[in-house]
Structure 1
């Protein structure tokens, strides 16, 4: 091999490193907490979920407004082309047609209605807090999903980033080994198969490195999508390996508390709303009571120009009671339907508890398996690093063959990649455990 070719390999190595750094150049750097906080401020779907809380508040206020006095104003203007006629008896008792009223009439009326008892407004007041709570719980449920999704996307990018770092280090080692193998070939200590094997290994490492560099771009885009980040702006992530290792610890002895799960809390709220709905139908047998008052200004005149010169006011107030006597057994069936729907929710609670138990059992089993795998692979990585350093030294002293060096390098790279894969898997499974226990808030 010519020195020019060896130089080109080193140039490629520098370019590879620059490509990796290009992702983080002039980019905003985020750790996991910063990614989550940014998502909670900018993720469109989560912003919509928060707006649903405001919408629910307004819906409650709309329903409660019916408790307040309802004041209306009416204006009427009319002209008779023919006055109405009534039959009026004369002095002899003979009914004769007589025209009544004025050709021009106008009325200005004010009315006031106040609900005293009405099942619709009573239901609105009884369920106002639960309706607001339900909207908040729906938003919280989406928030938990968002935190979990952003965390997984973050760890996925971090894994790809660590994978690239491993491959860069592997490429550096292979380039150095190639240089050593070529030097030993020129010195007549080995044949040309050693440095050709080095070229093959280096080419494979470069191809894998390039593939990983392209793959991480898509993972960054997915992370930005989950965060609600501008897709045209670069971001970079940062993490302390020691802190990551601290985050993998889970108390596997902790039991399930169903009340910690937002799904269980939401189902309880729906149960209260369904109970209120049952009462609403039972109230259908009660009368509706309301008060009213009217004040009218009536204007009448034969001449339109003088219509508003004189007014004839009238006013009244009263009480209304509407009693539903018979509605074809409709109310009876509505009550029965509401009772069955409420009773049906007992099965919803049972099904949810079973689902949570299964989710937790699966999550904790996967976590324990991944945790064990992580500890084994962490030890393997340390051992592979020691083996490589020893064999590399022995090769330089002529004790080991170059093939053994290549095998040791391959084992080290595999051990490092497996370690970071295991770390990602245990972090991801911890998210599932935390979610099953209701610890993501």
Structure 2
């Protein structure tokens, strides 16, 4: 009885833990922008493929460096010598060999100097640095792509809210205008205009709603979020507006850019390739040891009865003497490539500086526009409220109310568009300044 209870208890615990593991593959489906970016840095296809590329590169480096270790091989060959060799010696013909023969050879090679292996050894640190910097660059691209997709989706959601508010307001105005027409206070053009405005608002809202699914799908795609799971954006307008401010001095330092560090690492690799070309004048040296078991016999059944081993140990060197000037030309080509990369690196420095200046100008322009449109929004709300009161009292015509409402809606939409432009241009400026740090997302936004 006790054993049965124990078994049932264990089964229940395993079942509960299994269900909990299945029910909670993702902690939450509600994300703010930092949480979405952190999720993407683990699950994004771009990051995952970059991490796999980095791992592949690391394994290739280890494979190249393995040539420094002793290379041990075993070879064997077994033969039925159908026709033995005959050699004349004096006035006699002597037959050499046995009908059956075989050998088992063990060979050990140790590279002492080999320019290919030496290049792999000297360049391993640079190659790993290049892999790390490339991965970091891809992560920065993923951060910006996901953040932009998040902000774009957020903009659409806020625009739909604006249309919802305007539709509610327009529906009320349509009913008021219809009531006034029914009692003979106004002609039918007022509620006809209201009907046209309402239809236009509903059409524009439907257009925005239709784009939501595609934008949700795109955000899920670039972040690696499961397509079959619901995704909810967590945000507040005030919080988003607070992100538009720069929390740092917009100073530009080339060395803070990971992609510039990557370019310098690549230039260092070209310097190493020049050295590699010069090493072609140096001999290739290796040490070797082999042990060979020889077997031969008149009969196949007795082939393994006795062996005749041989062994040797020594050094081997290949000394390049003349190759038709090939090595000299290879060195010149390597130097020219290094010079060409230096020109490209200098141009890249100017390109990054131009990118920074453009990003700073775009951010300042967008930020000023957003500030201006915030003032316009407050003014448009005040104008609309005033004209609405005057219209209700019969002082203003309905067309004045329509114009005021249209200006208010435009001010609301323009305000959100401007905020999105500021947030997007801030990302560009942060990248241009090297301020986006995938390992610390909170300090990057």
TM over 0.5: yes
Per-residue CA distance 1:22-56 (angstroms, 9 max, x = gap):
xxxxx933221222222222222321111011101
Partner of 1:206: 202
Which 4+ residue blocks in structure 1 deviate beyond 6 angstroms? none
Partner of 1:64: 65
Give the Å deviation of 1:336. Answer: 1.1
Cα pair 2:46 2:142 within 8 Å, conserved: no
Question: Please, which runs of 5 or more residues in structure 1 have no aligned partner?
Answer: 1-26, 89-93
1:51 aligns with 2:52: yes
- Give the whole-Å Cα distance in 2 for the aligned partners of 1:217 and 1:119: 57
Distance 1:194 1:116, change over 3 A: same
User: TM-score with structure 1 length normalisation?
Assistant: 0.88
Partner of 2:30: 29
Map 1:385-424 to 2 at 5 A.
385-424=381-420
Map 1:63-212 to 2 at 5 A.
63-88=64-89, 94-212=90-208
- Give the whole-Å Cα distance in 1 for the aligned partners of 2:266 and 2:91: 68
Give the Å deviation of 1:83. Answer: 2.3
Per-residue CA distance 1:121-153 (angstroms, 9 max, x = gap):
111111111112212222222222221121211
Per-residue CA distance 1:76-104 (angstroms, 9 max, x = gap):
1112223222333xxxxx45221223221
- Give the whole-Å Cα distance in 2 for the aligned partners of 1:248 and 1:159: 14
1:228 aligns with 2:214: no
1:219 aligns with 2:215: yes
- Give the whole-Å Cα distance in 2 for the aligned partners of 1:74 and 1:210: 76
- State the superposition RMSD in angstroms: 1.8
Distance 1:252 1:317, change over 3 A: closer
1:322 aligns with 2:322: no
Match of 1:359 among 355, 358, 365: 355
Cα pair 2:119 2:276 within 8 Å, conserved: yes
Cα pair 2:45 2:222 within 8 Å, conserved: no
SS of the aligned residue for 2:394 comes to: coil
Per-residue CA distance 1:165-219 (angstroms, 9 max, x = gap):
0000001111112222233334443333322222222122111111111122322
Partner of 1:427: 423
Give the Å deviation of 1:347. Answer: 0.7
- Give the whole-Å Cα distance in 2 for the aligned partners of 1:361 and 1:192: 57
Partner of 1:12: none
Cα pair 2:286 2:316 within 8 Å, conserved: yes
Give the Å deviation of 1:393. Answer: 2.3
Partner of 1:9: none
Cα pair 2:79 2:102 within 8 Å, conserved: yes
Distance 1:359 1:252, change over 3 A: farther
Give the Å deviation of 1:430. Answer: 0.9
Match of 1:334 among 308, 330, 336: 330
SS of the aligned residue for 2:301 comes to: helix
| Residue range with higher mean Cα deviation, 402-411 or 228-237 | 228-237
- Give the whole-Å Cα distance in 1 for the aligned partners of 2:285 and 2:237: 70
Cα pair 1:252 1:364 within 8 Å, conserved: no
Partner of 1:240: 236
Distance 1:414 1:278, change over 3 A: same
- Give the whole-Å Cα distance in 2 for the aligned partners of 1:144 and 1:249: 20
SS of the aligned residue for 1:307 comes to: coil
- Give the whole-Å Cα distance in 2 for the aligned partners of 1:65 and 1:145: 34
| Residue range with higher mean Cα deviation, 332-341 or 243-252 | 243-252
Match of 1:293 among 289, 292, 316: 289
1:375 aligns with 2:371: yes
Give the Å deviation of 1:333. Answer: 0.9
- Give the whole-Å Cα distance in 2 for the aligned partners of 1:292 and 1:350: 48
Question: Please, which runs of 5 or more residues in structure 2 have no aligned partner?
Answer: 1-27, 438-445
Match of 2:268 among 261, 266, 272: 272
SS of the aligned residue for 2:311 comes to: strand
- Give the whole-Å Cα distance in 1 for the aligned partners of 2:228 and 2:234: 20
Give the Å deviation of 1:310. Answer: 1.0
